[in-house]
Amino acid sequence: MATNLRIDKERLWSSLMDSAQFGATAKGGIRRLTLSDEDKAVRDWFKAACEAEGMTVEIDALGNMFATRPGTDPDAAPISFGSHLDTQPAGGKFDGILGVLAGLEAIRTLNAAGYRTTAPLTLINWTNEEGARFAPAMMCSGVYAGEIGLDAALATTDNDGKTFGAELDRIGYRGTEPVGARRFGAYIELHIEQGPILEEEAKTIGIVTGGQGILWFDGTITGKDSHAGATPMTMRHDALAALAEVILAIEAIAFDHAPGGRATVGEVFALPGSRNTIPGTTRFKADFRHPDAAGLTAMEADLNARLAAIATRRKVEIDLTPVWRKDPIVFDPAIVGAVAAAAEKNGYAARDIISGAGHDAFYLASTCPTGMIFVPCAGGVSHNEEESTTEDECAAGAQVLLDTILEVDGR
Ligand code: HGY
Ligand code: MN
Ligand code: MN
């Protein structure tokens, strides 16, 4: 097994900065919504870069991209790694793409050294990890793992009524490979932590042992459009005032389930949308998180109870639609151990950590031995145009990714 292959820090950083052209925003962030023109552009760029490294790029029926580098043993189960190229509406330069480009940097390092692994290596871009435009998040790794239906995914619509399938066709990334047809010997994902722990504790590497659970709901509140001036306060069915109470109730549920509970309402709509018409219809999208499955279930029960009370008191109807539930996961001890060994070998300060954010690795964990590597991000801030990390931290993550791949290959 190779013992001292070193990734090229400048080459990795240059790729990351180069990729920021796709969906660059005026405030220095990235808007690269899944299946948008910006997503197509970065996919085309990524595909060309993989092919320039001698990899073959195959695409499945949901646009998941698989770039493969042959090993000496074509029958060995491929070792896979990667992440996602899509971003939040006002996202940053590192969420997702760091894991993809660090994987490409590992391939470039192996090519430059003329080193051939035993197992084939497959670098992956998972479609629609963010779930910002088409719910849920991690949608296409979820279909790959058999936990989300293919037809349901393709029929999902965005806020403009466009379907996932139509947008996939529009950007030319609906491949022919059945989703889930290929299986791997291992999957390793590098990602920024997106929280404050590593930076607060001056740790360079997060050895990710598992991830917390996620629960999403869509809600509709139906009151009655009426005149903002002529309608007495006691006669109103104000769907937006009711929504204001719902949002604070959702926040209160998270505090009631401290320290693990987390919740927010990230998107709202109010109709008909006129200052002097009392809103008769509002819609909202809610996100709950908890480290254990029972906590998610308890939060859902509290939500139903609180919404019923608000609906009665405010004389409105509140309809809640469960959109998605992903229970907490635990990563494979052998992969977690390989990440820890790689961090130790490079002398990086490291600690075990549970992922607060969701990742495609959460679904891969049920299909093959899976693990993750975290690096810090400034102030623990992510899903924000100011998201940042350093060249050294990206390089450390990429080095640990390469060494973990080699460690797994050497077993
Ligand atoms: O929602 C998540 O945790 C991920 O960032 N998509
Ligand atoms: Mn991500
Ligand atoms: Mn994200």
pLDDT digit string, tens, across residues 281-340: 999 999 999 999 999 999 999 999 999 999 999 999 999 999 999 999 999 999 999 999
E strands of 77-200, at which residues? Answer: 79-83, 121-125, 186-192
| 253 within 8 A of 215, measured Cβ to Cβ | no
What's the gap in Å between 49 CA and the centre of ligand 2? 21
Could you tell me the distance, in angstroms and rounded to a whole number, from the CA of residue 290 to the centre of ligand 1?
Answer: 13
Give the Å distance between the CA of 337 and the centre of ligand 2: 23
Q: What is the C-alpha to C-alpha distance for residues 271 and 293, in angstroms, rounded to an integer? A: 35
* pLDDT mean over 265-280: 98
Cα–Cα distances (Å) from 309 to 242, 250, 319, 339, in that order, read 11, 13, 13, 48
- Mind listing the pLDDT tens digit for each residue in 111-121? 999 999 999 99
Does residue 89 carry a pLDDT above 80? Answer: yes
Q: Which tens digits make up the pLDDT trace of 209-236?
A: 999 999 999 999 999 999 999 999 999 9
Q: Which residues have CB under 8 Å from 79's CB, separation 6+? A: 117, 119, 120, 121, 122, 184, 185, 186, 188, 405, 408, 409
- From the CA of 189, how far away is ligand 3's center (Å)? 13
Supply 62's token pair: 């949901």
| Element of type H or E holding 395 | helix 391-409
Sign for the CA dihedral angle at 81, 12, 41, 35 comes to positive
Distances (CA, A) of 150 to 106, 199, 208, 360: 32, 39, 29, 16
**Looking at the predicted structure, is the pLDDT value of residue 77 above 80?**
yes
What tokens were used for 154?
């393709």
pLDDT value of position 411: 82
Residue 98 alpha carbon to ligand 2 centre in Å? 9
8 A C-beta contact, residue 355 and residue 212? yes
**Contact predicate 89/31, CB 8 Å:** yes
Q: How far is the CA of 387 from the centre of ligand 3 (A)?
A: 11
Biggest alpha carbon distance in the chain?
80
Probe target for ligand 1 pocket from 32, 95, 130, with the most ligand atoms within 8 Å of CB? 130
- State both tokens at 140: 């296409």
Which atom of ligand 1 is least distant from the CA of 129? 6
258 phi and psi, to 5 degrees? -65, 155
Q: Which of 128, 262, 383 to mutate to test the pocket of ligand 1 (most atoms within 8 A of CB)?
A: 383
Q: What residues line ligand 1, using a CB cutoff of 6 Å?
A: 129-131, 137, 357-358
The packing angle between helices 391-409 and 333-345, to 10°, is: 120
Mean pLDDT, the chain, rounded, equals 98
Summarize pLDDT for 244-253 with one digit per residue, the tens: 999 999 999 9
- Under the banding of pLDDT at 50, 70 and 90, the label for residue 401 is very high
Terminal alpha carbon distance of the chain: 9
Fold assignment, 9-211+328-410:
Aminopeptidase (3.40.630)
The yes or no reply on domain 213-326 and CATH 3.20.20.20 is no
The bound ligand whose nearest atom lies closest to the alpha carbon of 387 is: 3
Looking only at the bridges linking them, the beta strands covering 281-290 and 213-222 are: antiparallel
3-state helix, strand, coil in the chain (%, to 5): 35, 25, 40
Residue 254 to residue 69: CA distance in whole angstroms:
45
CB 128 within 8 A of CB 96: no
- Residue whose CA is at the smallest distance from ligand 1 atom 4: 358
Q: Which atom of ligand 1 sits closest to the CA of residue 130?
A: 6
Contact present, 360 and 84 (Cβ < 8 Å): yes
Q: What is the per-residue pLDDT across 125-138, written as a single tens digit (0 to 9) for each?
A: 999 999 999 999 99
Instruction: Note the pTM of the prediction, 2 decimals.
Output: 0.97
CA of 382 to the centre of ligand 3 (A): 7
What percentage of the chain carries pLDDT values higher than 70? 99
Q: Which of 359, 362, 363, 377 to mutate to test the pocket of ligand 1 (most atoms within 8 A of CB)?
A: 359
Q: What pLDDT does 207 receive?
A: 99
Ligand 1: which atom is nearest the Cα of residue 287?
1
Structural domain spans, the chain: 9-211+328-410, 213-326
State whether residue 287 is helix, strand or coil: strand
- Residue 194 Cα, ligand 1 centroid: separation in angstroms? 10
The closest residue, in CA terms, to atom 1 on ligand 1 is: 358
Element (H, E) at 200: helix 197-200
Residue 2 pLDDT > 90? no
Q: What is the percent of the chain with per-residue pLDDT over 90, rounded to a whole number?
A: 99
Q: Point out which residues pair with 371 in neighbouring strands.
A: 188
Measured CA to CA, the distance from residue 345 to residue 338 in angstroms comes to 10
Q: Is residue 358 scored above 60 in pLDDT? A: yes
3-class state of residue 265 by DSSP:
strand
Q: Which of 138, 208, 325 for mutating ligand 1's site (highest number of atoms within 8 Å of CB)? A: 138
Between CA 395 and CA 117 the distance in angstroms is 21
The residue-averaged pLDDT of 2-24 equals 94
Q: Any residues with CB less than 8 A from the CB of 181 and at least 6 apart, and which? A: 60
Half-sphere exposure of 345 (CA within 13 A, CB side): 20
Atom of ligand 1 nearest to the CA of 357: 3
Q: What is the pLDDT of residues 158-172, one digit of tens each?
A: 999 999 999 999 999
> How many CB atoms neighbour CB 61 within 10 A?
21
Pairing label, strands 121-125, 79-83: parallel
* E strands in 126-258: 186-192, 205-211, 213-222, 226-227
- The pair of three-digit structure tokens given for residue 384, joined into one six-digit string: 């924000």
